[in-house]
Amino acid sequence: MFTTIIVQPIFNLLVFIYAILPGHNFGLAIIIFTLIVRILLWPLVKKQLHHTKEMRKLQPELKRIKQQTKGDRQKESMLTMELYKERGINPFSTLGITIVQLPILIGLYIGLRKLILDPHQLIEFSYPFVRNLSWIKEVGSDISKFDATLFGFVDLARPALKDGVWYFPALVLVFLSAFMQYLQSKQLMPSPKDGKGLKQILKDASSGKQADTGEMQAATGRFTTMMIPIFIFFVTLGIASALSLYWFTSSFIAYFQQDRVLREDEEEMEELADKKNGKQVIEGEVIEKKTPKPKAKKSSKTAKKAKRRKRA
């Protein structure tokens, strides 16, 4: 079922792009395939990024709730959920993009592995309409025409490390994919100057000091930001570099997608601040105009003359 629903459609989309591309470069087909996937995921990515930013904005209020409840976990949890509900935030919504991307990554890996182990899968695993494309027919008659490289520089069927032998073009892709993943993760992480490290928080907790939830989450996030790229680096060393190319391209596009959303949010906040400041200035001017000027006090001579006239 997974093969029919996930693997085969992904494989056929990739092969279709490869077949209609001028020059029929497999590496370029993977880049275009990744771009299409990121564009299709854009609405979900944008929603996830907005939720991530909102969660970060709530940290001061979450800290206040913790101080207010004074260790009462049940009350803290209840007030926290009320705050999420009030702001319309689902704390688990940020997992959506990960859940969607994981089957795509697994499906692409299985499809690429099929193709690398047996290039004839280019014909046998394709849908009939893809199989009938002119270039696929030509490759089917002479499988040596299938060139699994990135512009002839990187053999995408080879891993960076196999049987103790290093393949440096693939190693460059592995390094770039891990580095871009680090930049992508770091882009969303707050960087407080007084933030404690995970090691210090755990040390404080072992000495009986209660750990702050906000500090714990921030420290865990920073730790994850470092560990995921390292994990990616070592995992992708031993697999076909085609997957490293996909990972690098996906992280590269995601970095600029995130930058766009973060910039839009900043511009929107600045615009709201400008409007608010403009309104305050206008209100101040109106109040100043309406404020009556104090009447000048009459001199003592004038006051005496007025009294005499009144008596007369």
In a domain, 45, yes or no: yes
Tell me if residue 46 falls in helix, strand or coil.
helix
Burial (CB count <10 Å: 0-12, 13-18, 19+), residue 27:
buried
pLDDT tens string 237-289: 999 999 999 999 999 998 988 888 877 765 555 555 555 555 544 444 444 44
Contact 19, 130 (CB under 8 A): yes
Q: pLDDT per residue over 277-286, tens digit each?
A: 555 444 444 4
Residue 297: inside a domain = no
Distances in whole angstroms, Cα of residue 84 to Cα of each of 76, 80, 188, 235 = 12, 6, 20, 37
- Between 31 and 187, the more confident residue is 31
Answer whether 0.85 is exceeded by the pTM: no
- For the chain, the domain total comes to 1
Answer whether residue 159 is part of any domain. yes
Is pLDDT at 161 greater than 90 in this prediction? yes
Q: For the stretch 266-297, what's the b/e string if a residue is b when 16 or more beta carbons lie within 10 angstroms of its beta carbon? A: eeeeeeeeeeeeeeeeeeeeeeeeeeeeeeee
- Percent of residues, the chain, with pLDDT higher than 90: 32
Q: Is residue 206 included in any domain, yes or no?
A: yes
How far apart are alpha carbons 16 and 126 in whole angstroms?
9
In a domain, 305, yes or no: no
Domain of 149, in residue numbers: 2-276
Residue 289 lies in a domain: no
Residue 27 domain flag:
yes
Is 205 inside a domain boundary? Answer: yes
